[in-house]
Amino acid sequence: MGHQHSHNHITKDTKDRNLMISIVLNILITAAQVVGGLVSGSLSLLSDALHNFSDVISLIVSYIASKLSKQKASFNRTFGYKRAEILAAFVNASTLIIVAFILIKEAIHRFQDPQTIDSGLVIWLAILAIAFNGFSVLLLKKDSNHNLNLKSAYLHLLTDMLASVAVLVGGLLMKYYELFWVDSLLTLLIALYLIWVGFDLLKSSTRMLMLFTPDYIDIKEVVRTVNKLPKVKKLHHVHIWNLSDHELHLEAHLDLEENMSITEFDELLHRIEMELHEKFDINHVTIQPEFDKNDPKEVIVQD
């Protein structure tokens, strides 16, 4: 058997610091919007506050998961907490969708019972939320490109910034045109957008938790690549999955053309690891070598 590691680490201290700054900013935004929403009577402002509160929860979950993911493996946790960030992304995606349905319910209720709103307060609090969330989005944007946990936190903040923009537009329309029904409409649109982005993240994190093969990996192409190498007869019983954002594992049986020594197999294994890493970004390879073993070699994938 063989193992090869190649990890692209994020600067974790910077990542955690940015998360903590975002948590503090969102606590301040949430408190201001709750007070402002109650005083002004704006549902869209209260809905934005609810979404911001879900941001606080999601950011705390992301922060804890990030801290846990750094803990070393132990005898009863042989992978450590490497999957904590994927679990955090799943939780955060779920909360996005739950919040969205709560907002839809409230928007429908307010459509049936519209109320006069203090649009001036709505406008100023929306501007404050845009500034704070915009800064948080910039802090997390870079790391969100290669970390599912950070992506879930980033999406929470991005959608809330966009929601605040919508609240600002609604406040201006209410102030100058007295279109108070816009408040409920914007709440509904915010909720639908949350469902859209939340479902995509929920699907991605679920696939990782279920150890599904990533969408961009063609297992048959992986098998063809390995089978082309000298002294290889057939790669079979293949499993490919993400342990974390930065670890893509392959586990398989390898039927050999000849009965070779351990040294010869190590040389072949190194060649396989290089090919799989260069072509498929697989960075952890575990191979069970076989020669003249009586088992179904034609099976590529099997439990």
> Tens of pLDDT along 11-30?
556 778 888 998 998 899 88
> Tens of pLDDT along 41-98?
777 677 767 767 877 888 888 888 888 888 888 888 888 888 888 998 898 888 888 8
Torsion of Cα atoms, 108 then 111 then 112 then 114, to 10°: 140
Distances (CA, A) of 59 to 50, 147, 251, 285: 14, 14, 34, 33
- Pick the more confident residue, 295 or 277: 277
Architecture of domain 219-290: 2-Layer Sandwich (3.30)
Amino acid at 65: A
> Tens of pLDDT along 241-262?
999 888 999 999 999 999 999 9
Q: For 250, phi and psi rounded to 5 degrees?
A: -125, 135
Dist CA 158 CA 162 (whole Å): 6
- Annotated domain spans of the chain: 12-209, 219-290
Please state whether the predicted TM-score (pTM) of the whole model is above 0.85.
no
Question: Tell me, which fold does domain 12-209 have in CATH?
Answer: Alpha-lytic protease prodomain-like (1.20.1510)
**12-209 and 219-290 share one CATH topology?**
no
Q: At residue 5, does pLDDT exceed 50? A: no
Dist CA 146 CA 241 (whole Å): 16
